[in-house]
Amino acid sequence: MSYLFSETKNAGASSSAKRLGSADLSLRARIILAWMLMVELLRKKVDVIHMSSYSGIIQRAGRVIWLGNLVFFNIENPGRKAVFSILWILCATKLVQRIAFTEVGKRSYAHGKNAWLISSYMVQMLQHNNNNDHQDHLHLHADDVEQAAHLHVGNEELLKRCKYIVMGEEKLVEATTADGYKIINPPDGSVITVGKVWELGEDNKLFTYLHEKQHLKRLSLSFALFKLLRQRFEHLPAMTDGEAHYNRDIILRGIYNNDERSAEALFQVMNDELAFLGEYYHSVVPVVLASPIFLLVNYFLLHIVVIILCLMTIILCGNGDVRYAFTSIRTDNYTLEYGIANIITCLESRIFSTSFHIITWLRSKMIHNNLRFKQFSALNHRCPVKLLPLFGRLSFVLKTEVVPNNLKQSITEYLVEHERRRGSAGYGHLTNGKSALERNNLSSRLLWACNRDSVAEVILTWHIATTILEVKCAPQTIEEVGLSRVATRLSKYCAYLVAFHPDLLPDYQEKAELVFQDMTEELKGMLGSREYYLSSLRVRVDKILEITQVEEARDETRNQVGTTGQSDEYKVVMNATKLCRSLMPESNNGLEIMWKVLADVWTELIVFMAPSNNEERLKGHEEVLIQGGEFITVLWALTTHIGISRSSLSKSVIDGHPEA
């Protein structure tokens, strides 16, 4: 834009401007300069506040200085110079605000230093508990847990003793040490913890209704967990085993109460935590800086200073003649003299109001209070695979579904069972569906579908099989409908991750992209161009089953005569139909068993995909927070807190990814 401005300025100076005897900028040059100033004003909306680096601020300062040079050394007309100077002052004010936010934040124990402070607090708090033999207060007796579950009151005793900090941690710092901060024992009432919030009685004036009480209490836990999760984004030392054990007790025993309602509450806590995280790293003004002094300075005194600077600039542009300065602003600017009325007329027009309502409606469709995930079907999309990366940012147009409550409970039960088996004989890490097949006595027949060195290949194989069964074996009973809803929605969400967010998968990103591309080419080769782009889902399924049945018969014939068949590398669709036919016999005794197997496999697979200590995956989760977050990010936060890891699929994964 600077280049365009320079070219337009030179062209104007050599033609019309010279003929008119004016040395001022041409209309086109002024429009470009105004646009450059407006872009700089809007840039704050998309910048991310990082406390660790000044690189972004330095670049922005350079742009503001350059714009000031263009304004003050290229515009001669007093009225125009005053208007452009006011725009530049606003840009400079935003820069000063950003520098002030960064400086105050870096020095604040509630902001820039908060992650280290919370890390030091957790370590010393756990050591203090161990030294005083208070670790037992986190473990309720089995009879107490059973009684609490029976009474549907939850294990609130754990939460009432939870020492996660909500507010006031800056009062705990005694000294700075080589490992962080030395923490003092705070006086009563100086620090707000989760336990103190949960000890508030039902008759407290803060709470009007019972559901409001529970929501606010859980919100305090979300805020405390958000402070803990910041340690991962700011590359602090790894969480200790003691901290992970503490987290598991609070999350899996304190919140979850072995029912669907508490599972929903658990996921709401994690979703609110990620909302805090996204607002922290991508907010225009960091909310943690809010205080009476901050409100006074930032929203009152700063505005007064800016107004005074603007008035002084207008007077200086008019060479001290106040009346001439203000009159020239109106007479020298066509927009201010003639365009204001037109702009007001445009804003009151039916077209503008209709457009505004459409934008508001689209925004409401993109923002939901309930936890949702996007749905993508590999057998029912008609977009060429090569175009998918180009439209990755437009994935919001895909259909979204609410995450079923029975799925939340299924995932939570799986994590609880995983924790129960921790340290027991025969205990293993998370698997990509193998344990689910073993539990359903199907590992001997179906284990091959999980024995792949690529998670993307496993996902697409089970996804296509699930889609075919959804068409051919539609659920009939209430139980079957519930199980199929879990399986099909998870199936389509995982396929969406492969297609649009391979950076969030355990695979190397390029590997996942190649697997998806090969699957699409295989599918297109089976169906042909016309059916691939124009046919319905049922027609596609019928033709795939017909073609693969013929191919399987040919392979069987080749094996009988001793001829080597075609390689099954990347033959995702062929393997999926083979898996589908292996699952169909389970429907002889009803479809419930078949859909239960699929629901169990998908539940285990999505949990297997979630944990990660890899920096590339961490960056991927940070980026999707800007777009509203993903369901797998919620699971990642949950597994991070409770210290769950996964085993790798192959030696190549172990060698290439230290997270294993």
CA separation for the pair 604, 432 (Å, rounded): 6
Do 410 and 434 belong to one domain?
yes
Q: How far apart are the first and last CA of the chain?
A: 47
Do 118 and 101 belong to one domain?
no
> Does residue 342 sit within a domain?
no
> Does residue 171 sit within a domain?
yes
> Does residue 346 sit within a domain?
no
Give me the torsion for CA of 94, 98, 101, 103, rounded to 10°: -130
CA separation for the pair 376, 387 (Å, rounded): 15
Residue 381, classed as helix, strand or coil, is coil
Do 314 and 396 belong to one domain?
no
| Closest listed residue to residue 501, CA positions, set 627, 402, 647, 607 | 627
| Closest listed residue to residue 545, CA positions, set 601, 596, 473 | 473
Do 265 and 138 belong to one domain?
yes
Residue whose structure tokens are 């039902």? 202
Do 443 and 578 belong to one domain?
yes
Span 370-425, pLDDT tens digits: 788 899 998 887 665 555 554 555 555 788 889 999 999 999 999 988 888 776 65
Q: Which domain-ending residue is among 248, 283, 318?
A: 283
CA separation for the pair 178, 180 (Å, rounded): 6
C-alpha distances (whole Å) from 320 to each of 74, 83, 89, 316, 325 are: 20, 16, 19, 6, 8
> Does residue 61 sit within a domain?
yes
CA separation for the pair 460, 472 (Å, rounded): 18
Residue 53, classed as helix, strand or coil, is coil
| Closest listed residue to residue 531, CA positions, set 344, 379, 654, 362 | 379
- Helix and strand numbers (H, E) in the chain are 30, 6
Q: Do the Cβ atoms of 226 and 279 come closer than 8 Å? A: no
Do 625 and 594 belong to one domain?
yes
Do 132 and 69 belong to one domain?
no
Do 504 and 581 belong to one domain?
yes
Q: Do the Cβ atoms of 531 and 539 come closer than 8 Å? A: yes
CA separation for the pair 281, 291 (Å, rounded): 19
> Does residue 347 sit within a domain?
no
- Name the token pair of 532: 């691939």
316 CB neighbour count, 10 Å cutoff: 14
Regions of the chain with pLDDT less than 50: 17-18, 20-21, 45-46, 49, 133-154, 390, 567-570, 648-660
CA separation for the pair 295, 285 (Å, rounded): 11
Phi, psi of 372 (to 5 degrees): -130, 160
Degrees to nearest 5, angle at CA 391 with 389 and 392: 65
CA separation for the pair 539, 534 (Å, rounded): 10
| Closest listed residue to residue 231, CA positions, set 117, 143, 148 | 117
Residue 147: the pLDDT is 40
Look at the alpha carbons of 318, 324, 329, 334 in this order and tell me if their dihedral is positive or negative.
negative
> Does residue 554 sit within a domain?
yes
Q: Which domain-ending residue is among 249, 266, 283?
A: 283
CA separation for the pair 255, 148 (Å, rounded): 12
Q: What is the DSSP string of 484-551?
A: HHHHHHHHHHHHHHHHH-GGGSSS-HHHHHHHHHHHHHHHHHHHHHHHHHHS-HHHHHHHHHHHHHHH
| Closest listed residue to residue 595, CA positions, set 491, 493, 485, 496 | 485
Do 312 and 420 belong to one domain?
no
Residue 15: the pLDDT is 58
**Non-local CB neighbours of 215 within 8 Å, separated by 6+ positions:** none
- Name the token pair of 152: 């549907």
Give the containing element (helix H, strand E) for 246: helix 241-248
| Closest listed residue to residue 127, CA positions, set 171, 180, 75 | 180
Do 403 and 434 belong to one domain?
yes
Residue whose structure tokens are 């929605």? 489
**Non-local CB neighbours of 31 within 8 Å, separated by 6+ positions:** none
Degrees to nearest 5, angle at CA 138 with 133 and 142: 115
Please give the DSSP secondary-structure letter assigned to residue 170: G
Do 187 and 202 belong to one domain?
yes
> Does residue 150 sit within a domain?
yes
Residue 656: the pLDDT is 37
Give the containing element (helix H, strand E) for 180: strand 180-183
Instruction: Name the residue type at position 551.
Output: E
- If one counts the domains in the chain, the total is 3
Q: Which domain-ending residue is among 283, 300, 315?
A: 283
Range of the domain at 592: 374-656
- Name the token pair of 98: 């950003």
State the burial class of residue 50 (Cβ atoms within 10 Å of its Cβ: 0-12, 13-18, 19+). Answer: middle
> Does residue 354 sit within a domain?
no
Do 214 and 69 belong to one domain?
no
Residue whose structure tokens are 């297109």? 524
